[in-house]
Structure 1
Amino acid sequence: MEEMKCIHAKKERSEEEFKDLIHRLNRIEGQVRGIKRMVEDEAYCPDILIQVSAVNSALNSFSKVLLGNHIRTCVADDIRNGQEETIDELVTLLQKLMK
């Protein structure tokens, strides 16, 4: 199996990582649908905002897991293979995430 690099547009994930990420996204999707229903049902604004905050927290958690996996796999592998440009890519990514 050919090793996937950070500079590529795709990454092969382990079955465990894939299932975890999809599970998290499915939960987030359900939460967003719940918020939509709340709006449709004319729920009280603070109740909706609390659910929006929960979705934001879930998305942040998803991002942290994905970033951690990226650093442990792609970034570490690329650095071991002498691909120093991956560090610049990571710095750019972190700058975008911290806007």
Structure 2
Amino acid sequence: MPGDALVHRINRIQGQLEALKRIVTSGEADCVKTIELAKAASNAIKKFAQAYVETHLDQCIEEKVAVKELHGEMRKVVHSSFSL
């Protein structure tokens, strides 16, 4: 089921973020390991977003009947994806 796979990804991200939180709050952070874990969490979030879009793109397009509305929404998504 697509929803289950997405929830699994979210759970993994939550685990990575909780690990980062423990490291930062403990004051015993290994700089390299912390950066690696932060990068892994960031990549996991990107992969979740990609999987979500791939899973739900057709549904989103069907719901946005008006082309102008779809165009505006897609511009927002692209802008937010590539803005720093």
TM-score, normalization: structure 1?
Answer: 0.70
Instruction: State the Cα RMSD in Å.
Output: 1.7
Of 89-98 and 50-59, the range deviating more from structure 2: 89-98
Moved over 3 A (4+): none
The sequence identity of aligned pairs, in percent, is: 26
Aligned to 2:56: 70
Which structure has more helix as a fraction of its residues? 2
Distance 2:30 2:53 in 1: 35
What are the residue-to-residue correspondences of 1:71-90 with 2, within 5 Å?
Answer: 71-75=57-61, 77-78=62-63, 82-84=65-67, 85-90=69-74
- Alignment of 1:48 with 2:31, yes or no, is no
**Rg: which structure is higher?**
1
Aligned to 2:82: 98
Distance 1:90 1:56 in 2: 22
Gaps of 5+ in 2: none
| CA deviations over 1:45-84 (Å, ceiling 9, x no partner) | 1110110000000001001111222322211x246xx421
Aligned to 1:19: 4
Aligned length: 81
Distance 1:42 1:62 in 2: 29
Of 46-55 and 84-93, the range deviating more from structure 2: 84-93
